[in-house]
Chains A and B, each alone.
Chain A
């Protein structure tokens, strides 16, 4: 017996151990859904300038950050955002059902190789909850197609020595050899410190938009004869603005395109321009105005006042508009009016300064502020100047607005406006009263409320129309009143039909209502007394249990009917009234008799 018990105990122990192990392993397997990062390229080889899609998929993460990828120098990468996919499945664990959602996040990039050769993309790393997960490295081959002998790319620039932040125009002409499509300038070389901006193309030509150094450029197609051949010419213009000092190589600008030859074959080819060396030098410090703030180029300044006739202390809306060539470097803000003596002496200037009107328009900056004349001796709003360096003349210039004539009248009473205006000038004579800054109360924005307890959560609240209507108690509640009404109708009808005399009178009344005038009275009498309608005479009225006035009236009507010459047309309304009165009295008498 003892060995048997020992064996049984061992078997139970083994079973328990196996169960615990299986539960633990299931738990471990469910928890071990590790975060996985996978990088993928859609193509293994592309031509220089062509695009290849690069995606980084992050599996089993909740909210991963954007991957960190050290793209090599010869690759331009554009991030297209994150998308997510989820897959929900039901799983049974220890007999309990639970829904499991597996989610993957995909970060999408477009890569453009700008150099020839093998492009190796290092492994991306993704941060999730402070932990860094690394994916796989990828690579693709960037190929340069054959150079086209039939095409020519020419870059024209006015000067090659530029001042820092100077904006200069560049024109590029592409003489196209033959039928061409699917071109790009993605592998063109433009220094990173150069800002590029598109210039508008003439509207009367076929326009084509394409990206250059990440900026949209608009070109146009014209025709040109060269060596007796009619060629298409694609021209585009843009501006460059160097933002760092030094010597840079602009170009080569390179176009890679698909050429369709006369035989119908299609192939990729490229054409490129010569390289232009550009020297970027600083603006001279000699004779630089004090108010110079980095502006370079030509500007137009225009000022407007909201009113030209004011009292001392009245607010005057002042607007300043500056026009120039984008990017308008050095025009971060309008000139400081406090630094202009003619303004500081004669005007109180809004402490908030200039406010820029947004959104900006191309080549325009507009600012507004409020000024108040301090005395009635002020007769104009002075000119506002902007110091700028002219790169063509090589000297500084101050562009100015025109003064605005102003008529200021003195005020007799001291107003609040005067107090504000004069507070700065008279603060030495009167003690300044300080007060704390006032803050208006605003309603707090809605936020998240704390959740309740489990008992509160278990309580059903609200009202469910569909559920309520389906409850038997409510069905009974709704059905009962109409049912009772029907029952009342049935009972009333039954009770009405139970008295044959009353029933005869009602039928007589119903039949009499089909007639008009005296005929209705005769019909009622005939039916009520059970005689032929033609045999009804005036004396039959005496057989009805009606009061004396009604009897007299009925008798008169019937006599008139028996002798048509007296009154051929009895009043129908009067007859109707008599009929109703007679019927009600008869019914009452019948019910009284019944009782």
Chain B
């Protein structure tokens, strides 16, 4: 064994150990944040006055850990949403739960928590017909796992092409072409469902994060009048349509649109 080979082995060992250390560090950061959250909840149950400060710290650490380590699990966002909910920050809680829902819409923790937070929001917005249709089109998401849809697509897609290939190889089977076309057409259904759901998430869904924001009819509160008699409260969901200066145009699910200060809303999928 020469020196070059030995050097490479040492380098590989060092790299692997660094990776393992990094992973352990990530896990330990999350563990610390979760421990802090548990402590905050215990203190909150005991009506300790410092409980909210501890939970706020846990929320900050969890958010940082998720961002830095690019954690993509619904459980992580569920824990973060819990922390914000306990702090009364329904806007940020809504964002966390919605991100968790995007990752795994079948997670019952996320579903229940979203329902809970939506119940806590004082402003009720009824969806209009187009939004009801959109909701109906993705109503499968809480029932059918995406992986099943994906495998259905792959199976039907592969089967369709396999039949076409078989038809070329065995010309005595002329009735195979309709079967192949049927398989390929059926394969489009799960793929379209997945694609439509993905495209909805790629829009610009946003959530009001500040309390009692007056929604204006234009991007200036000195010139334009309020759209609604009641201010929007944290947690109201909508879609970001336009940004002008420090104002954002938000479409609510009832089809109405309003302008709110840009720092009053936060996007569920912030641009990277």
Contact = CB atoms under 8 A, between A and B. Distances in A.
Interface of A: 62-63, 81-87, 97-99, 101, 129-131, 445-449, 451-466, 468, 477-478, 481-482, 484-485, 488-489, 492
B34 A81 contact: no
A63 to B, nearest CB: 6
13 contacts: A62-B52, A129-B50, A446-B113, A448-B112, A456-B73, A461-B75, A461-B104, A462-B103, A465-B197, A468-B150, A477-B154, A485-B168, A488-B165
B146 A462 contact: yes
Given A459-B75, A460-B72, A446 B34 contact: no
B113 A461 contact: no
B73 A458 contact: yes
Contact of A446 (B37, B52, B112, B194): B112
B51 to A, nearest CB: 9
Contact of B146 (A81, A446, A463): A463
A461 B73 contact: yes
Given A462-B103, A465-B146, A129 B26 contact: no
B116 A83 contact: no
Contacts of A63: 52, 87-88
Given A83-B211, A458-B73, A468-B150, 12 more contacts: A86-B209, A101-B60, A129-B49, A448-B116, A449-B82, A451-B79, A454-B31, A457-B75, A457-B76, A462-B74, A462-B104, A464-B72
Nearest to B159: A481
Contacts of A87: 263
Given A457-B71, A462-B104, A485 B161 contact: yes
B45 interface: no
Contacts of B213: 83
Interface string B196-210: 011000000000011
A98 B73 contact: no
Contacts of A101: 60
Nearest to B109: A449
Nearest to B56: A62
B21 interface: no
A86 B198 CA distance: 31
Interface string B51-79: 01100100010011001100111111011
B215 interface: no
Interface string B83-122: 0011110000000000000111101110111011001000
Contacts of B115: 446
B82 A451 contact: yes
Contacts of B147: 463
Main secondary structure of the interface of A (DSSP, over half): mixed
B198 A466 contact: yes
Nearest to B77: A457
A97 B64 CA distance: 8
A101 B210 CA distance: 13
B27 interface: yes
B162 interface: yes
B119 A445 contact: yes
B150 A449 contact: no
Nearest to A63: B88
Contacts of B197: 465
A507 to B, nearest CB: 18
Instruction: Return the 10 tightest CB-CB contacts between A and B, nearest first.
Output: A481-B161, A462-B104, A463-B146, A451-B79, A446-B112, A449-B109, A462-B103, A454-B30, A446-B115, A454-B31
Contacts of A489: 168
Given A451-B34, A481-B157, A482-B161, A446 B212 contact: no
Contacts of B108: 449
Contacts of B212: 81-84
A2 B253 CA distance: 79
Interface residues of B, number: 68
B130 interface: no
Main secondary structure of the interface of B (DSSP, over half): helix
B195 interface: yes
A461 B74 contact: yes
Given A481-B157, A489-B168, A447 B150 contact: no
Contacts of B165: 481, 484-485, 488
- Give the most central of A97, A99, A452: most B CB within 10 Å: A452
Interface in B225-272: 231, 263
A482 B116 CA distance: 48
A449 B145 contact: no
B158 interface: yes
Contact of B145 (A446, A463, A468, A485): A463
A463 B144 CA distance: 12
A446 B116 contact: yes
Nearest to B145: A463
A460 B73 CA distance: 5
Interface string B211-228: 111000000000000000
A492 B116 contact: no
Contacts of B209: 86
A458 B71 CA distance: 6
Contacts of B231: 81, 83
Interface in B127-174: 145-147, 150, 154, 157-158, 160-162, 164-165, 168-169
Contacts of A447: 112, 116
A451 B75 contact: yes
Contacts of B109: 449
Contact of A99 (B60, B78, B210): B60
B263 A85 contact: yes
Contacts of A466: 198
Given A462-B103, A477-B154, A492 B168 contact: yes
A87 to B, nearest CB: 7
A485 B73 contact: no
- Give the most central of B64, B102, B160, B165: most A CB within 10 Å: B165
Nearest to A87: B263
Contacts of A81: 212, 231
Given A62-B53, A462-B74, A449 B113 contact: yes
A291 B21 CA distance: 84
Nearest to B214: A83
A448 B30 contact: no
A464 B165 CA distance: 31
A152 B78 CA distance: 68
A482 B63 CA distance: 44
A458 B64 contact: no
Contacts of A130: 49
A485 B164 contact: yes
